[in-house]
Chains A and B, each alone.
Chain A
Amino acid sequence: MHELSVSESVLKIACDHAKKAHATAVTDIYLVIGRLSSIVDDSVQFYWDFISKGTLCEKAKLHFRREPAILLCMACQNQYELEEELTPCPKCGSAQVRVVSGDEFNLESIQIER
C-alpha cells in the first residue's frame, strides 16, 4: 500500500509541468503502469481526491493505461504474458526466461487549460 507516496509523486510532477506551461488547470493525467508495478488504481484515485485539493490538479481525472509483463523464452524465443503468477514457457516448458517488459511506471502526459 504505497499508493499515497505514488500519488504525491504524480501530483508533484504534474504540477511542475503545468506551472511551466502556464496552465490554469490540469483536467486529465495519463499514467502508464506496467503489470510488474503493484499499484491499485482505485486507491491512487482515492488519495488523489484529497491531496490534489487547492492545487492546479484539483479535479483532474487520472487515466491508467496498463501494460502487460512480457517474458521471452531463451530456449524457443516464444514471447508470452505474465498473468497472475510466474510460469515457465507455456510452449516448451523451459524456465530459461527473461522479463522484457512490464516495469513501466510513467506519467506520460497531462491535459491542461490555459
Chain B
Amino acid sequence: MSEDRIKIVENIMNANDRLAAENRSRIDATNTYSVNLMASPGAGKTSFILATINALLDQDIKIGVIEGDTAPVTIDSDKIKAAGMPAIQVNSGGGCHLDAVMINQALDEMPLVGIDLLIIENIGNLICPAAFNLGTHSNVLISSIPEGDDKPYKYPNIYRGLEVLIINKIDLLPYIDFDMDYFQKGVEMLNPGLATFAVSCKTGEGIEAWLEWLKKKLH
C-alpha cells in the first residue's frame, strides 16, 4: 500500500455551474430573457412579479414564472396563474435555495416557446441563493425598507453578483428609520454602479423605470 497526495484544485460548485450553463442554453434557444429573483422572506418577491406582469399585460409580452418554495404550498403560483401567466412550482423540500438541478427539471415542465421573460422566484433567503448559479441572464435582488439599511453590510455576498437591485416598499420610508445614503454606500462598495430602482409595489411608484430597463433586455 502506498500513500499519495493528488492535486485537484476544482471549484466545489463546478457541477452546479455546468448544469447552470446547460440551463442557459435551453433558455437562449427560445430567445427568452431570464431573471433569478432573490430576497429575504416578505420583501415582496411575488408582489413585484405581479406588479411586473400587470404593468406589461397590454404589451404582448408573455411571462413564465418558476416559483421556488420550501414547502408544497401553492399560494404564490396560484397568484401568478390568476394573473393569466404560466407558473410552475418547485418545492425545495425545506431547502434554503434553488439550484441548477431544480431549474433544469423545472424547464422540462415549462415549455419556453413563446415565453419572452422567465422569472425564477428563489427561496426567501439572503445567504444561500447567492452561492448557486441558476443559469439566468440576470440576478435581481429585492431589498425592502422594513428590513433595515444595514443589509449590504451584513450580507455582502448576495449584493456582489447582481445586475439589478430593487428597493421595495419605499412608501414606508416616512415611518421607518432607514438611512438611504448609508444603505447605498454599502451597495456601492460591493457592486459599483449597480442598476438600482426604488419602487413601491403597493403604490406602483418607480415600477415604470424598472420596466424600461427590463424591456431593453427583451427581444
Contact = CB atoms under 8 A, between A and B. Distances in A.
A105 interface: yes
A17 B189 contact: no
Interface stretch (B1-9, B163-171, B197-205): B1-9
A112 B10 contact: no
Contact of B11 (A5, A27, A106): A106
Interface stretch (B44-52, B81-89, B154-162, B172-180): B154-162
A88 interface: yes
Contacts of B157: 36-38
Interface residues of B, number: 36
B96 A1 contact: yes
Contacts of A78: none
A40 to B, nearest CB: 11
Nearest to A71: B189
Contacts of B3: 27, 111-113
Contacts of A113: 1-3
A99 B152 CA distance: 14
Contact of B156 (A36, A106, A112): A36
A18 B10 CA distance: 14
Given A1-B128, A86-B153, A95-B188, A111 B5 contact: yes
A2 B10 contact: no
Contact of A110 (B6, B127, B188): B6
A9 interface: yes
Interface of A: 1-2, 5-6, 9-10, 12-14, 17-18, 21, 23-24, 27, 31, 36-38, 71, 82, 85-88, 95-99, 105-114
Given A1-B96, A17-B6, A87-B153, 4 more contacts: A13-B10, A108-B9, A110-B5, A112-B3
